[in-house]
Structure 1
C-alpha cells in the first residue's frame, strides 16, 4: 500500500491540475489528486475512497465488464445486473426461438427458477490495479526491433500475471498506456454463471433501429437485466442449480428524483478504444482510404442479410445479432468520416506535429526525436492503399460465415485428417459440435449472396494487390462471382453438417485441399496477413516512432491530452446534464431529455424500427406513469450529459453526486462522432436511458414489480 501511494504522488507530478472537467477517461486510482477537487465543485459528494478502495467496498465493486465488450452494474444485494439491451442482445437471441421469441416479445422471469442461462456469458469484477512501468521498461532498450521488444515485454508480462493471479483465482492483465511508455497491471475476478432475468420487447429495446442509431433525439429502452450466481461461499462457479445469487461487495442505489440541466453526472465503465494520440497521417488514412471501404463493405453485407431477415422471424433471429453489430459500426464509421472531415482534424494534428518537429530538431532533442514525424508519415504513405484493400477484405470476413472457414472449422478438419484413429475419436465430437453451432447461425441461400456480393465488391474496389485466387477468378468470370460461389457451395464439405459428418467418417487431406471454399478462403487469409520485408521494416520504424512521438509530446508539453487512450480498462468520466441547441424534432421543453409522448409521435404501425406495443400507446394516452412521472407530468425516456465515453461504455451507470444510479449510458451523438480521435467540448454528448423509464418499463408496462422491489429506491 505504501508503494502504491508513493507512485500516486510521483505520477501526479506529471499531470497539470488544470484539466477540462468533462474531457478525459481517468484511472480510478488517481481520482483523489487529479480530479476530486474539480468533481466536488461540480457536485460530487463522495470521497475518493468511496469511489476506489482496495481495502473497503467502493463504487468500483458495483461496476463490471459485461461479456468482454460492454459495461454493467450491480443494482441489488442479490446479484441483479443492469446493462444495455444491445449488450445482452446475443444472449437474448441465443435463448430465443421462433416459438419463444424473447428478443421480439420480451421476457421477465417470475422467479429465480425462471431465469435463463445462455451458453456463454460472464461478468468481470475489478479488484485492483498497480503500476509496473519501471519493471516492464527495464527489460527493453532502444536498439531492439519492435518484435524483440514485444517478445521481451510479453515474457515479463507473463511473470507479473502469474505472480498476481493467486493460483488462478484471479485474471491478471498487463496493459500498455501512452503508446507503450507506461504499463499497469489489472486484477480481475470472473463470474461465469450469469442468467437472463428480463428484457423489454425489441420494439422498445431497439426502438428507432439503425435510423436513430447515434442520433438525438432518441427514445429507446436500451436495457436488459441479468443475475450473477456464485457457489455457496460467493466464489465463481460453473453453472449449477446449486449456485446462489451473488452477494456483491457494493451495489448501486437507484434514484428516481429525476435530472435537470447542469446536474453533476459521472460514469464508470470500460471504454473500448480511443485514438486521441493518433498522428495526422493516420486520421487522413482512415478518412480517405480505410473507413470508406469499411462503410461500403458493411453496407454490402447488411443489404444481403436484410433481404432474408425480412422473410421470417426465424431468419431474422439467425442474423439479428450479426446485423446489429455490423450496422452499429457502419454508421459509426460514416459519422467519423463526416465529422473528421468537417472539423479538419487531420489538419489540426498536422499543425501540432509541425510544432513538435521543430522542437524535436532542436540540438538537445534531435538525436532522439529528429526523425519521428518523417518516419511516421512515410509509413502512412506506404500503407494508404493497403488500408483500403484490407478493410474491404475485413468486411468480407466479418459478414460472411464462410469467409474465414479455412482457419476455423477447416483447420480442425485438417488436423483431424492428419491424426491417427485414436486421436480422431477424441476430436470428432468437438468438431461436429463446432459444425452444428456454425450452421445454427446461418442460412445457406443468404450466405451465397453475402459471399458473392462481397467478392464482387472486393475484386472491383480493393485495388492494391488482390488475393491471387480472387484476381484469377475475377478475370475468368468478368468480375461476377455468383456462378462460382453457387458451384463452390454445391461442392464444399463445409456447407452442411451432413457433409462434415461424412468427412469425419472418411477423412481425406486431398479432398480438403481441393475444397473450393477451403482453397479460396485460405488464399484470402494468407494474402491478408502477408507482409513484405519492406513493410515489416516500416512497421517496426513506425512503432518506435509513434511511441517517441507520444513521449515527446508529453515531455515538450505540446500535446494537450493528459490521460491515456481507452483500452477496455475501468475509467471514470465526469460532467453535467447538458442540453444541445433547440431541436424541433424534440417535444421536450429543454433539449436535454425526451419523453414517451415523443416516442409515440415516432410510432409507425408494423414498421421494423418504429413500431410500438399497443399497451405503450394506451398507457401514454392515459398518462399512466405512476411514481416515475417527472415533475412536469411527462415520462422522461432518454437524457443527455457531456461525459466523455466511447464503445465499451455501453451499459455504464450514470451516477449523481451521491453515487446513486440515475441513468444508463448507451450511445453518443453523430455530430461529435470524431470523439474517438478528438474531444469536441461544444458538441460531444452521451445519450442515456433515464432510470425512471427503465423502472416504468419493468414495473408498470411489464408487470414485473418484484424485480424493482429488489432494488434500493431513493426518491
Structure 2
C-alpha cells in the first residue's frame, strides 16, 4: 500500500474540491475555465459528466443525449443484435426517438448531485481493542446507515467510498436513471477498428464513440423502462467544439476512473509482477481459447460471447502490459528508494503514530497477499456462470433471514434490482455448452495450482472435470424464468433442491463464508493501520510542498494535461495525432482492419468539410495527451481550455499501462477520439443529421 503519489507535472486523479490547490499549474498550461466552476458539481461543466456504472460519459443535449465510447455501449449494441440484424457489424442509427432501442436492465446512468465528507460519522469512537472483523463490520454498519439515510427515493443511489484506504470517507448521492436507450453506434469497422490487435497500441485509428439517451417518467423522476417515459431534461450539457486542438494545447478530462494502486508497497509490486499477474494472464489465455473452440462456426454463440471475449481480452492485455512494463522499468526498485526515504523521514517525524506502525503494516500486507492467492484459486474453482448464479441466489436467501440493515452489502433490498439484472443478462451472454466447456477447463487449471493456495476443504467439494457434463444435464438454471423464480425462496428450499448447481452452491457456502470472514479480518486491520500510514505520507509530502491525491475509486475525478507526443524508445517519436489517411492505409479487408467503402471513398475524394485540420490538412482520428487516466475513464469528456468537448478518452498506450502503479510523465499517454472524426463520421458516413442538429456544435471560423 506504500509510496507515494503527488502532484508532479500532469500526474493526479483529483477530487474536484482539490483543484484550487492546482491553480498555478492549470494556469501555467493555459486552462481558462474558472476553477470555482470545476469544484461545483451542480454547475456546468461538472453537472454534465455522468457515469454508466463502469464507464464515463457526458450529456451533449438538453434532452438527455449522452455520448460515451462504443465499447461502453457494446453490451447494449450486442443485446439488440442477432445474426440476421447484426448492429455490431453494421452499426445502428435511430432516425427518431421512437426508433431508439432499450439498453437493457444493466445499462444505467448515474448523475452525481452531492458529495459530503462523512469521515467523523464513519470513524468516530471506534474502540482500538476491536478485532479486524469487528472493526470492519462496525464501519460497514455505519456506512449502510449513512446510505439508508441518503436514499430518500428509488431515484437515488448513494455510496460511501473510502479515500486513502480509510483515512477519509465521502458520501456521494447520485440520481440513478434506469431507462437508457441506444441511439446511435457506428459499425464495429469504425467503432472497434483494429480490435484487440490495436488495443493499447499507437497509432490508433478507432472511432470509439456511441450515443445513448436517458429517459425518465413524465414527472421528471427516474422510472422503470416504459414506452410512456420521456427524455431526461439534462440541466447542463457540453457544447461540442469542432475547432480542434493542436500539439501542446491544454486539456481537462473529467470522468470516473476505476482503481489505481499508486500507494502500493515494493513487496506488493513484486508479488503482482512475479506471481499474481503471470497466473492470471495464463488463466485468461486458456479461457479465451476454450470460448473460441466452443463457439467456432456458430454465429449465435459468437454474438452471445462477443462482450465476454472483449472484456477478457481487455483485462488480459492490460495485465500483460503491466508485466511488460515491470520488466522494462524496475518499479519495485524505484519504490524501494522512495520507501527508504519515507521510512527515514518517519523515524524523525513519527509524532503520535505508533512505534510499530511500519512493522504492523508489513505483516498485514504479507497476510493480505497470502489470502489473495487463495481467493484467486477459489475464483478458478468456481468459474461457471451457472454456478455463480446459484451461489448468488443461495446467498440472497441466507441474507434475507437477517433484518435489512444487518445484511451484507450487495444483498440488501436496494440491491435486488441489480441482482435481477445480472441474472436476466445471462439470457444474452450464456450458452450452457460453452459455460460447461469453460468450467471443465477451469477445474483442470485449478488442480494444477500450488496446494498452499487452494482453500482448505475446497478440493473435496469440487466436481472432477469429467463430472461437469452431468451437472449441466441436471440443472434448470439455464432457463431465465426458472433462474429468476429462485429469488425470494427461503434457504430451506435451496437445501432440499435436486438442482445440481443449487446443491453445489449449498455445499460450497461454508468455504466461501470462511474466506469472506478472513478477508473482513484482514481488511479491518488494514483499515486501522493504513490511515495512520497515509497521514504520515501526506505530512511527508506536505513538508516538500506537494499536495497528495487519493487512488482512483470509481468516483468523479478531474485530470489535466497537454496534447503531447512521446518517445517509447531511442530514436522514435510517436504522435500526437492519427488521421483518416492512416485508416485507409491500414485497410487489409481482413477483420479487424476492414474499412467501410464509404470511408475509403470519402477519404480519397478528400470530402473533409469543416472537420479538416488546418495543419494536418486532413481529418484527425485519435490524439494523445499527457492526462492521468485509468480503466473507468473510458468515455470521459476531454475538454479544451474553455470546458468544451473536443474528444473522448478511450485507451492508453502500451507503454503507459504501468501508470496504475507508477506515473512516468515522459511516456504516459492517454488516447482519445478526436471529436472532429466523430462529427465527420456522423455527417459524411452515417448521415446522423438528426443528432448533429440536436447537439450544440461550435465550428471553426472560416
Category of TM-score, reference length = shorter chain? 0.7 to 0.9
Higher relative contact order (CA 8 A, sep 6+): 2
Residue of structure 2 equivalent to 1:457: 445
Check whether the contact 1:207–1:220 (CA below 8 A) recurs between aligned residues.
yes
What is the aligned length?
672
In structure 1, C-alpha distance between the alignment counterparts of 2:481 and 2:175, rounded to whole Å = 41
Q: Please, what TM-score do these two structures have when normalized by structure 2?
A: 0.86
Residue of structure 2 equivalent to 1:426: none
Q: What secondary structure sits across from 1:211 in the alignment?
A: helix
Which of residues 640, 644, 650 is equivalent to 2:624? 640
- Is residue 624 from structure 1 mapped to residue 607 from structure 2 by the alignment? yes
Question: Residue by residue, what CA displacement relative to the aligned partner does 1:614-672 show, whole Å, maximum 9, x if unpaired?
Answer: 22222222222222222233221110000001111110010001111110000111212
Q: How does 1:162-241 map to 2 (within 5 A)?
A: 162-166=148-152, 170-241=156-227
Residue of structure 1 equivalent to 2:578: 594
In structure 2, C-alpha distance between the alignment counterparts of 1:431 and 1:345, rounded to whole Å = 39
Which of residues 672, 678, 681 is equivalent to 2:665? 681
Question: Residue by residue, what CA displacement relative to the aligned partner does 1:504-531 show, whole Å, maximum 9, x if unpaired?
Answer: 99x9969966655445555556435534
Which of residues 658, 683, 689 is equivalent to 1:705? 689
Q: What secondary structure sits across from 2:436 in the alignment?
A: helix
Q: What secondary structure sits across from 1:323 in the alignment?
A: helix
**Aligned pair in 2 of structure 1 residues 294, 602: CA closer, same or farther (>3 Å)?**
same
**More deviation, 289-298/150-159:** 150-159
- Is residue 614 from structure 1 mapped to residue 597 from structure 2 by the alignment? yes
In structure 2, C-alpha distance between the alignment counterparts of 1:671 and 1:433, rounded to whole Å = 37
In structure 1, C-alpha distance between the alignment counterparts of 2:304 and 2:333, rounded to whole Å = 44
**Aligned pair in 2 of structure 1 residues 238, 585: CA closer, same or farther (>3 Å)?**
farther
Question: Residue by residue, what CA displacement relative to the aligned partner does 1:322-369 show, whole Å, maximum 9, x if unpaired?
Answer: 11111111111111122134322222223333333344445x738734
In structure 1, C-alpha distance between the alignment counterparts of 2:454 and 2:437, rounded to whole Å = 21
- Is residue 28 from structure 1 mapped to residue 16 from structure 2 by the alignment? yes
In structure 2, C-alpha distance between the alignment counterparts of 1:38 and 1:498, rounded to whole Å = 57
Residue of structure 1 equivalent to 2:409: none
**Aligned pair in 2 of structure 1 residues 202, 449: CA closer, same or farther (>3 Å)?**
same
Q: How does 1:306-705 map to 2 (within 5 A)?
A: 306-362=292-348, 365=350, 368-382=353-367, 384=369, 386-394=371-379, 397=382, 400-409=384-393, 438-466=426-454, 471-472=459-460, 481=465, 483-494=466-477, 516-520=500-504, 526-531=510-515, 540-557=524-541, 562-581=548-567, 591-607=575-591, 609-631=592-614, 632-705=616-689
Which of residues 51, 57, 60 is equivalent to 1:72? 57
In structure 1, C-alpha distance between the alignment counterparts of 2:255 and 2:564, rounded to whole Å = 20
Residue of structure 2 equivalent to 1:422: none
Q: Shift of the alpha carbon at 1:497?
A: 6.8
Check whether the contact 1:386–1:464 (CA below 8 A) recurs between aligned residues.
no
**Aligned pair in 2 of structure 1 residues 153, 115: CA closer, same or farther (>3 Å)?**
same
In structure 2, C-alpha distance between the alignment counterparts of 1:330 and 1:139, rounded to whole Å = 43
Check whether the contact 2:255–2:636 (CA below 8 A) recurs between aligned residues.
yes
Question: Residue by residue, what CA displacement relative to the aligned partner does 1:432-487 show, whole Å, maximum 9, x if unpaired?
Answer: 9998764553223222221111111111134325357764599x97xxx2x22223
Residue of structure 1 equivalent to 2:136: 150
Residue of structure 2 equivalent to 1:98: 83
Check whether the contact 1:49–1:58 (CA below 8 A) recurs between aligned residues.
no
**Aligned pair in 2 of structure 1 residues 681, 105: CA closer, same or farther (>3 Å)?**
same
In structure 1, C-alpha distance between the alignment counterparts of 2:481 and 2:116, rounded to whole Å = 52
Q: What secondary structure sits across from 1:30 in the alignment?
A: helix
Structure 1: gaps spanning 5 or more residues: 1-15, 417-429
